[in-house]
Amino acid sequence: DSGHVKIEDNPKILSGPVLTNSPNAVLSKTLLGRYNDLTIPADRILATYVWIDGTGEHMRCKDRTLNFIPKVSKDLPVWNFDGSSTGQADGHNSDTFLVPRAMYKDPFRRGNHVLVMCDTFKYNMEPTESNHRVKCQEAYDICKDDEPWFGIEQEYILLDSDLRPFGWPPGGCPPPQGPYYCGVGANKVFARDLVEAHYRCCLYAGVPISGTNAEVMPSQWEFQVGPSVGVTAGDDLWVARYILHRLAEEYGVIVSFDPKPVQDWNGSGAHTNFSTKKMREENGIIEIEKAIDKLSKVHMKHIKVYDPRGGKDNERRLTGLHETASINDFSAGVASRASSIRIPRAVAEEKKGYLEDRRPASNCDPYAVVDALMRTCILNE
Ligand code: ADP
Ligand code: MN
Ligand code: MN
Ligand code: MN
Ligand code: MN
């Protein structure tokens, strides 16, 4: 007996409908090819507006046709949607505004078509509750000159349509973790072609993916975005998540950013690597240590914004086991994966670079994380 919890005992995994096959998985993948090459008038640009819904965790999108080629996000019109259907407004006053903030090339439609990352505003133009971008932009505007960079490691798992990890044996777990991290081989990693498609789509779109790897649990993967500057780190990561969800539709699998999908296996995080101009300069280690000292004084404040449920999600993940530090304690260390903050070995040796905040959960809102890091470490709030 491996001592691992059987999957049947895990209500998280068993909740939800049990389907034998995703309807998307069995649809023809070639039929659309008959229509994809239909000529669309050159002055008709399809724009997919993407936004974060009222959960602060899930995404929505809708499409519109433009009659011009947008050059920057400011060219794009403000739009609206029914906020009562997304947990962002009441039914009797439901129009909610979408304000375009960042534009990417559309890897699905290509040509001049675009993906548009938006944030959301109520009828009175106040930000909606799940709009953390506004505050993040405000913080960034004040500390621009410090050049804050963020590189976020997005971990996630793939689920089959029965909501169990994709490729896991029926009714049980695969052999214990060990061989899967950065694994190679059909019994170690599942759905690499989805990961490869995502990598390429992101780079095409303009999302700066810096790398990708298989993770500790079978069907768990990671990609890294960045370094991106300030609030752009949030735009880039959200669009990378959108592209992943969208691609996974085609494969008939589900992307889960839940930070602890299966007990007794590694959870999923969104380690956030952070530096300022001073940290990257000679002897920047002094600045890094100053930042860690500031972070040590507001641990719980950060934990509250490092998942969409005020720390509740991270309670399941930051147990002190499985390469995490306890949610209740702040710690920092060189090369330590059991700390809240890790200073990478190479950074300690070169005495400059960046720190890694290992606390953000995989389903965090990067706008909130980036905002908190800038406010604590640069703005001294
Ligand atoms: P780990 O060893 O923790 O798995 P990864 O290689 O997965 O690290 O991710 C490292 C991340 O750090 C990447 O996203 C990279 O872009 C980012 N990064 C590198 N240098 C900096 C820097 N100076 N400031 C912020 N992020 C950085
Ligand atoms: Mn309608
Ligand atoms: Mn990593
Ligand atoms: Mn990882
Ligand atoms: Mn890491």
**38: which 2 tokens?**
């239909």
The total number of residues shown for the chain amounts to: 381
> Per residue in 105-143, pLDDT tens?
999 999 999 999 999 999 999 999 999 999 999 999 999
More confident residue, 162 or 59: 59
pLDDT for res 20: 58
Exposed / middle / buried, residue 275 (Cβ in 10 Å: 0-12, 13-18, 19+): buried
CA 356 to centroid of ligand 5, rounded, Å: 7
Tell me the sheet residues that pair with 213. 222
If one compares 95 and 242, the residue with the highest pLDDT of the two is: 242
Residue 133 CA to ligand 3 center (angstroms) comes to 25
Report the amino acid identity of residue 110. Answer: R
| Distance, CA of 174 to CA of 265 (rounded, Å) | 11
Asked whether the predicted pLDDT for residue 1 surpasses 80, the reply is no
Q: Is the pLDDT of residue 3 over 50?
A: no
DSSP string, 166-190: TTPPTTS-PSPSSS-TT--STTT--
Distance, in Å, from the CA atom of 236 to the CA atom of 355, rounded to the nearest integer, reads: 20
Query: What is the rounded distance in angstroms from the CA atom of residue 315 to the CA atom of residue 363?
Result: 13
Residue nearest to atom 14 of ligand 1 (CA): 151
Q: State how far the Cα of 315 lies from the Cα of 313, in Å rounded to an integer.
A: 5
Residues with C-beta less than 6 Å from any ligand 1 atom: 149-151, 153, 210-211, 224, 226-227, 271, 273-275, 280, 353-354, 356
Q: Which of 303-307, 335-339, 340-344, 362-366 has the lowest mean pLDDT?
A: 335-339
Q: What is the DSSP secondary structure assignment for residue 139, as one 8-state letter?
A: H
CA 373, distance to chain mean position in Å, is 17
| 129 CA to centre of ligand 1 in angstroms | 30
So what's the pLDDT on residue 10?
A: 54
Residue 8 pLDDT > 80: no
- What number is the average pLDDT over the span 2-28? 58
At residue 322, the pLDDT reads 84
Residue 253 Cα to ligand 2 midpoint, Å, equals 28
Q: Using CA positions, which residue lies closest to atom 26 of ligand 1? A: 151
The number of the ligand nearest the C-alpha atom of 94 reads 2
Place of tokens 């804050």: 148
Nearest to 270 by CA among 288, 253, 258: 258
Listed residue (293, 291, 298, 297) closest to 353, CA to CA: 291
What mean pLDDT is predicted for residues 51-78? 97
Candidate from 207, 209, 210, 273 with most ligand 1 atoms within 8 A of CB, to mutate: 273
In whole angstroms, give the CA distance from residue 60 to residue 51.
5
Range name among 38-42, 209-213, 294-298, 343-347 with the lowest pLDDT average:
38-42
Alpha-carbon distance of 37 to 57, in angstroms, equals 35
Over the stretch 258-306, which tens digit does the pLDDT of each residue have?
999 998 899 999 999 999 999 999 999 999 999 999 999 999 999 999 9
Quick one: pLDDT band at residue 316, thresholds 50, 70, 90? very high
Ligand nearest to the CA of 82: 2
Phi-psi region for residue 147, left (φ > 0), alpha (ψ -120 to 50) or beta? left
pLDDT digits (tens, 9 = 90+) for 148-185: 999 999 999 999 988 899 999 887 889 988 999 999 99
Q: Is the ipTM of this complex over 0.85?
A: yes
Does residue 16 have a pLDDT over 50? Answer: no
Which pTM value belongs to this model? Answer: 0.95
Indicate the top mutation candidate among 147, 153, 203 to test ligand 1's pocket, ranked by most ligand atoms within 8 A of CB: 153
Q: How far is the CA of 116 from the centre of ligand 2 (A)?
A: 20
pLDDT in tens, 222-272: 999 999 999 999 999 999 999 999 999 999 999 999 999 998 899 999 999
**Can you give the pLDDT at residue 14?**
47
Query: What pLDDT was estimated at residue 111?
Result: 95
Q: Which residue has the higher pLDDT, 318 or 21?
A: 318
What is the rounded average pLDDT for all residues in the chain?
Answer: 93
Q: Could you tell me which residue, 24 or 219, shows the higher pLDDT? A: 219
Rounded CA separation 306/310 (Å) = 7
pLDDT tier, 39 (very low <50, low <70, confident <90, very high otherwise): very high
Contacts of 172 (CB under 8 A, 6+ apart): 6, 7
Q: Which listed ligand is nearest to 273 at the C-alpha? A: 1
Kindly give, in sequence order, each residue whose CB lies less than 8 Å from that of residue 290, ignoring residues fewer than 6 positions away: 377
